[in-house]
Amino acid sequence: MDEPTKSRLQGLKSLRRIVFERSGQTEQPTPAPRESAEVPESPQAPEPERRSLRSRAISVLRSPGTAMVAALVVLALVNASVVGRFGGTLSGGRLLPTADLATTWSDYLSAWHAVGGGTGSPASPSLAVLALFGSVLGGPAVVVAVLMLFGVPLAGLSAYLATRAIDVSPLRRALVAAAYALVPVAAISAGQGRLDVVVAHVLVPPLLAGIAAVIRRSDGRWLGTACLTAFGLAVLGAFAPLVHLTLIVLALLAHVLVPGNGLRGRRRAAGLIALVLLSVACLLPWPVLLLSHPEVLVHGLGARVVEQPASVLLATLSPDGSVVGALGVLLVLAAILALAIRFDKRMLAGAGVALLGWLVAVVAGTVSTEPLAGGIASPGWTGGPLVLVAAGCAWIVLSAKVTALNWKIAAPVLGAGLLALGAASTIGSATGPLAAHQAAAGSGTRLVAEPGPQPARLITGNGPRFGDDDLASAGNSTEWLRQVDEDLSSDDTTRVREALAAVAARGADRVVVPADSRLPRIAPDLVVDDGRRQGQQRELRLLLPADAVKLVGPDLSRQAQNEQGPAPEARPLPVDAELPSFSVRISEGGSGRALVLGAENEPGWYATVNGKRVPLATAWGHQVAVPLPEQAAEVQVGYTEIPRTTLLVAQAAVVLFTVVAAIPGRGRRGVTGLR
């Protein structure tokens, strides 16, 4: 080959090499191996170092959070041992005894409840939560005991884990989490049996972290974050609906105030919609009750009590105005000091949570309403909103940029503050009425005239249990119970005898009255004292027909339609049947007779005679009556469960979707959980 040809070929090769280098490409692959210098390797992120299980366990054991939780667990164990709250079912204050697992499920799923004369009100979803966790932990009573006795360490652990996204040292997170866990308002509420406040104390920190994640997350994991937070909000709403509603308002305010445009803004809006709708739908059909009975937001869940109006000590996180509760001001002062000395715009989120909590506490502590189950109008307990205030103050303290501390000065101050909070928490919890419940033997239905201003109770079985006072009364049953209570304590013989006849007509075979009651002397032919005692009260047995279902003749049936109560001399025939559903065979009889049920007449009851629907009537002003024909007939009576079952199916579907969507996907890169 001549020299010009060789030079032209070399020039073409050089030109091709320059073109490929400028275009970021290499030459066509050949079977021959290439030098690493000719093909540079693409940069790859270094693989994270995988630690052994032993090293990770040692790291967890050495963390300040573990030490903090261990110290709080020891404190809880000592406190429960000294007060004697171990063993058995806990009750006292606002906490009624918890039933076994099967009864709890039955109480939640039933469409009709034999409480207060009977009601078709939907049961609180807190029963479903206790039943679900009780299926794993050994029963609803165990779940309640764990929350009431170990709510402080659980709250400390949840606060420590929820603050992982805040760029501060683990030691500082542990100290602030301990201060939040030991806030006296939660311990006082636990000692008084306020399960709703205890649940809020544990769940508020991770829920605030979840809401913050929904607001700022813009990656492909936004739906899972929203669903996980919505499920937590639903669990909170099952016990503390007011705190649930407050957190929803807080999330909507954050969406409005925090800027977000484009894809991030659209995903945030979708996340908030899922957060609100799913957290409400998971509680069906309970939200329907809240719309018609907003007083539940004020009083919360639990046994009916008469609350005292809130005082100015709300500013110190004291829900009851006590000196012990006022020591919560230490956390407030720490937040104010952080705002004054180390103000940063990141503190505004915590300040907003605290201010909104205080506002809700003032409203709940001053607005008086009657409880859901009836009783004296009074304001609500401010413990739940004050837990939000405590969480907001802790958020402020963690958000402050603090330089290196002089531990010779800081350690004694922090130690004294935590010791003061720990002492207040211990005293506040120990002085409450919460104790191990001693179940009293009892069967059938009885009317209990409780001391104090509250109306009497109609109790079936051993006594009232958790969830009974969270059912809305049907019709005028509350007014009827209050009137009967007044009549039984009267000196008028006629009123007393008529009240006893009315109690028997509702299916009660016993009455529980104060030990000094004069009932045996006023109506010796209607009651008898069997010597049974319940503390300062005694139990009297009625000598009147007290079955839940009775057959009344034509004359007594006409009297039942025109009068408000039966005469003491009335003697209807008892029918062997149990409410709400039964089937009986009726023989021939006179025209105008009827079956009278010991239940409040409300929508939902139905009856068939020989397979045909018949209209229902009202007996004694408020009880269900089934008119009967003269001929022999097959009578079926029941309470419809179709609306309840439909809503329960919808609830189950929403809960299943929320749980599945909240499970982190496998194989997703760059996706992290809540921090």
Q: What is the mean pLDDT of the chain?
A: 84
> Residue 150: its pLDDT value, please?
94
**Cβ 195 vs Cβ 244: under 8 Å:** no
- The residue whose two tokens read 């009147």 is 544
- Segment 168-174 shows an average pLDDT of 88
More confident residue, 401 or 187: 187
In total, how many domains does the chain have? Answer: 3
Closest CA to 640 of 596, 603, 665: 603
Residue 151 counted as domain residue: yes
CB neighbour burial string for 528-567, b if at least 16 within 10 angstroms, e if fewer: eeeeeeeeebbbbbbebbbbbbbbbbeebbebbbeeebbe
Q: What is the largest CA-CA distance in the chain?
A: 141
Q: Is the pLDDT of residue 58 over 80?
A: no
Shared-domain flag, residues 588 and 528: no
Beta strands 623-627 and 573-575 are unpaired
| Distance, C-alpha 494 to centroid of its chain | 45
- pLDDT number for residue 218: 64
**Cα 561 to Cα 593: distance, rounded to the nearest angstrom:** 11
Can you tell me which residue has the tokens 């429960």? 80
25 found inside a domain: no
Q: Which residue has the tokens 């903090």?
A: 68
Angle, helix 140-162 to helix 184-191, in steps of 10 degrees: 180
For 70-139, the DSSP string reads HHHHHHHHHHHHHHT--SS-EEBTTBPPP--HHHHHHHHH-S-B-STT-B-PPPPTHHHHHHHHHHHHTS
Q: What is the mean pLDDT of residues 188-215?
A: 94
Q: Note the pLDDT of residue 135.
A: 92
* Beta pairing class for 633-639 and 605-609: antiparallel
Neighbours of 410 (CB within 10 A): 13
The lowest-confidence range among 23-37, 232-246, 568-582, 585-599 is 23-37
Cβ count near 179 (within 10 Å): 24
Residues 521-550: pLDDT tens digits? 888 888 888 777 776 788 888 888 888 899
> Is residue 533 domain-shared with residue 553, that is, in the same domain?
no
Position 443 confidence tier, pLDDT thresholds 50, 70, 90: low
- pLDDT class for 308, splitting at 50, 70, 90? confident
Arithmetic mean of pLDDT, 434-442: 73
* Domain end marker among 436, 467, 482: 436
Contact 549, 510 (CB under 8 A): no
Give the least confident one: 50-59, 69-78, 203-212, 214-223: 50-59
Helix axes 241-257, 262-281, angle to 10 degrees: 170
Provide the pLDDT for residue 440: 62
CB neighbours of residue 355 within 10 Å: 13
Residues in contact with 7: Cβ distance below 8 Å, sequence separation at least 6, in sequence order: none
What's the pLDDT band for 157 if we cut at 50, 70, 90?
A: very high
Angle, helix 140-162 to helix 64-83, in steps of 10 degrees: 150
Asked whether residue 344 falls in the same domain as residue 486, the answer is no
Count of CB atoms situated within 10 Å of the CB of 382:
31
Q: Once rounded to an integer, what is the mean pLDDT over residues 29-51? A: 46
> What secondary structure letter does DSSP report for 153?
H
**Strand, helix or coil for residue 172:** helix
| CA dihedral sign of residues 335, 337, 340, 342 | negative
pLDDT greater than 70 at residue 207: yes
Helix axes 170-181, 195-216, angle to 10 degrees: 140
The confidence score (pLDDT) of residue 355 equals 95
The pLDDT score that the predictor gives to residue 32 is 43
Q: Residue 575 has which token pair?
A: 């029918």
Same domain membership, residue 399 and residue 353: yes
- Reading across the β-sheet that carries 510-514, which strands appear in turn? 457-460, 445-448, 510-514, 537-542, 527-534
Burial of 674 (0-12, 13-18, 19+ CB in 10 A): buried
Q: According to the 3-state scheme, what is the secondary structure of 602-650?
A: CCCEEEEECCEECCCEEECCCEEEEECCCCCEEEEEEECCHHHHHHHHH
Give the Cβ contact number of residue 219 at 10 Å: 13
pLDDT tens-place string over residues 103-155: 999 999 999 998 888 899 999 999 999 999 999 998 999 999 999 999 999 99
Helix pair 241-257, 195-216: axis angle to 10 deg: 20
pLDDT digits (tens, 9 = 90+) for 68-102: 999 999 999 998 888 888 877 888 889 999 999 99
In-domain check, residue 651 = no
Does residue 427 sit within a domain?
yes
Q: Among 501, 519, 542, give the residue marking a domain's end.
A: 542
Residues 402 and 498 in one domain: no
Q: Which among 551, 636, 608, 204 has a CA at the least distance from the CA of 389?
A: 204
Does residue 8 lie in a domain region? no
pLDDT of 10 > 90? The answer is no
Same domain, 571 and 538: no
Give tens-digit pLDDT for 558-616: 888 888 888 888 888 888 888 899 999 988 888 888 999 988 899 999 999 998 999 99
DSSP state at residue 333: H
Tell me which residue of 309, 346, 344, 315 sits closest to 329, measured CA to CA: 315
**Domain match, 200 and 310 both:** yes
Question: Measuring CA to CA, which residue among 171, 81, 198 is closest to residue 404?
Answer: 171
Whether residue 371 lies inside any domain: the answer is yes
Alpha helices in 258-372 (DSSP H): 262-281, 286-292, 295-299, 323-326, 329-341, 347-366
Residue 117 lies in a domain: no
Same domain, 191 and 289: yes
pLDDT digit string, tens, across residues 359-407 = 999 999 999 888 887 778 889 999 999 999 999 999 999 988 776 666 6
Is the pLDDT at 630 greater than 50? The verdict is yes
Last residue of a domain, one of 507, 542, 577: 542
Residue 517: name the closest of 483, 535, 491 by CA: 491
Looking at the predicted structure, is the pLDDT value of residue 18 above 60?
A: no
pLDDT digits (tens, 9 = 90+) for 419-431: 999 899 899 888 8
333 φ, ψ (degrees, to nearest 5): -65, -40
Shared-domain flag, residues 570 and 622: yes
430 and 296 within one domain: yes
Distance CA 274, CA 250 (A): 15
Output the six-digit token pair for 379: 């304001």
Residue 277 has pLDDT above 80, yes or no: yes
| Cα gap 119→111, rounded to integer Å | 9
Indicate whether 599 belongs to any domain.
yes
| Sequence letter at residue 160 | Y
Q: Which three-class secondary structure state does DSSP give residue 471? A: coil
- 350 and 400 share a domain? yes
Whether the CB-CB separation of 486 and 130 falls below 8 Å is answered with no
- Please write down the long-range contacts of 287-296, taking CB distance under 8 Å and 24 or more positions apart: 288/122, 288/647, 289/121, 289/122, 289/472, 290/241, 292/472, 293/372, 293/472, 295/369, 295/370, 295/371, 295/372, 296/241, 296/372, 296/470
**Contact by Cβ (8 Å): 124, 241:** no
Supply the angle between the helices 170-181 and 383-399 in degrees, to the nearest 10.
160
Average pLDDT over residues 31-40: 41
Could you tell me the CA-to-CA distances from 307 to 196, 290, 370 in Å, in that order?
Answer: 15, 21, 11
Q: What is the DSSP string of 400-446?
A: S------HHHHHHHHHHHHHHHHHHHHHHHHTSS-EE--PPP--SEE
- Residues 218, 267 within the same domain: yes
Q: In terms of residue numbers, what domain contains 492?
A: 445-542
Dihedral pair phi/psi, residue 525, rounded to 5°: -90, -5
